Amino acid sequence: MSIANRFPAGVGGSAARRRLAPSVSDWLLLAASITVSLGLAELGLRFFFPLFSSPYAPDDVALVKIVPGAKKAFTRLRVNGGQRIVAQFNSDGFRGEPLRAPDHLERVIVYGDSNVEADFSELPATFPKQLESRLKPDVSSGVEVLNAGVDGYGPDQISVRLAGDLERFKPALVVVVIFADNDFGDLIRNRIYRLDSRGELELNHYRLAPDLRARMERAAYPQGLRRLQLWRYTGRIWGMLRERWSGATAKAQRGFLANYVDSSLALNQQTFRELTSDSSAAGYSADPMFDYYDADIALEPDSPSARYKTALMEKVLIKLRDTAAQAGTGLLLTILPSPVDACDHYDMQVDTSRYPHYDRTRLSRLVEDMAVRNEIPYLNLWYAFRATDANRLYFHGGDNHWNDAGQAEAAQLAGEVIEHRHLLPKP
């Protein structure tokens, strides 16, 4: 007799199904296992491979500010070494360690954009830190150099926060790094200032667009699930998959870099038209993190946008000079040239047959001329960078920042100017 015939029909199968059906305790055990696994995964990601909240929050004065105590991770492109670097900001919003007690200490504040913030370099390799090391033997009471760089900052944003910083931190010297690649354009995109009918500087009713401000708020101060590493990783992976499936973002980026100069020229012209089409010159600032080469000035110096941006830049530099002078603080302009201009064989180049009026010195030289006319101490790095192989001083592959070697050379030269011009007390 077979085993099946030893039981009445349906009895054995029903019992087996009852034994296999999960009980409430089984479901609870499964839920607990999943919860524990997700918790361990969250802790592992948080401690070993964290995705940080954005360090950039909206600001009513300077459009953007650093979130105190924030961190930011940056991974270099493979062509630049591929290292992952974590930048730490202190409780005052400066990159680096907490500030020291100001007693018997000369402070220097270095302002600028992402080249000064330098999240692509380890802290000791950044321009402010290398300048501090260079200045220490030459300053009688010790020196502390503060890194006030913020990604996307232009000299107009620096000017509106400078007076408050001078009162609060009381530096002996301010160093403003002008990136002669896109800083002229920041003045138009940010819409902080305009020129009035007499050509004088006038403050606009500038502000971030509500949707842009809301996105920045969510990224800097995430709430709910957005605070979880698992949620952030899920969002990043989903974004990468969408980009790979569509290819639109990567294709657009490749197209922009392949036609960088032409694309920058078109964007500069469009931004200027938008500004001049608004009779009140008020309205929303453009995304303060999105910058591009000042191709209108470099290629078409007599165009209306080039003339306006040049005049506006000089007025902003004068405001920086006067604000520092009123506080009894020294000022040094450090002019960082664009790699497009400083390098002979950079990734992005100007076709001189199409743009015969291009002058690779123009963007840097214009700032130098303004400094001379208005008696502002300056260092134009264009000459030093051109005297060597400037290609070795910048990153490549679409990253147009100066690298560790470029920052080291700039710190050495800036230290020499500070010493020669007696901008800090001597021992």
Burial class of residue 47, CB neighbours in 10 A (0-12, 13-18, 19+): exposed
As a whole number, mean pLDDT of residues 222-238 equals 84
Classify domain 101-208+246-420 by CATH number: 3.40.50.1110
Predicted local confidence at residue 226, as pLDDT: 84
Report whether pLDDT(235) > 90.
no
pLDDT band at residue 228, thresholds of 50, 70 and 90? confident
Helices 304-326 & 183-190, crossing angle to 10 degrees?
A: 90
The most confident of the ranges 20-29, 39-48, 237-246, 328-337 is 328-337
> Mean per-residue pLDDT for 319-333?
97
Helix 229-246 / helix 24-48 crossing angle, nearest 10 deg: 80
Which tops the pLDDT comparison, 27 or 121?
121
pLDDT digits (tens, 9 = 90+) for 271-301: 998 887 765 445 788 899 999 999 999 999 9
pLDDT of residue 102: 79
Per residue in 18-34, pLDDT tens?
A: 556 778 888 888 888 88
pLDDT of residue 7: 41
Reply yes or no on whether the pLDDT at 407 is more than 90: yes
pLDDT of residue 68: 97
Q: How far from chain centre, in Å, is Cα 245?
A: 29
| pLDDT greater at residue 258 or residue 18 | 258
**Identity (one letter) of the amino acid at 113?**
D
- Give, for 78, the enclosing helix (H) or strand (E): none
Residue 5: pLDDT over 70: no
The rounded distance, in Å, linking the Cα atoms of 306 and 298 is 8
For the chain, the structural domain boundaries read: 3-47, 101-208+246-420
Which comes out higher in pLDDT, residue 302 or 245? 302
Q: Is pTM beyond 0.85 here?
A: yes
For residue 167, the surrounding DSSP H or E stretch is helix 155-169
User: Which tens digits make up the pLDDT trace of 148-196?
Assistant: 999 999 999 999 999 999 999 999 999 999 999 999 999 999 999 999 9
Mean residue pLDDT of the chain comes to 89
20: its two tokens: 């296999």
Instruction: Select from 56, 293, 94 the least CA-distant residue to 189.
Output: 293
What confidence tier does 238 reach under pLDDT thresholds 50, 70, 90? Answer: confident
Give the pLDDT confidence score for residue 166 in this predicted structure.
97
pLDDT of residue 4: 46
Quick: pLDDT tens for 298-316: 999 999 999 999 999 999 9
Structure tokens at 132: 């501090």
Cβ burial of 263 (10 Å; 0-12, 13-18, 19+) is middle
Name the pairing type of β-strands 84-88 and 63-66.
unpaired
* pLDDT above 90 (res 234): no
147 sits in which H/E element: strand 143-149
**182, 341 Cβ separation under 8 angstroms:** no
| pLDDT for 2 beyond 80 | no
Q: Say yes or no to pLDDT of 1 above 70.
A: no
Average pLDDT estimate for 121-127: 98
Paired tokens of 100 = 């020291």
Segment 49-72 shows an average pLDDT of 94
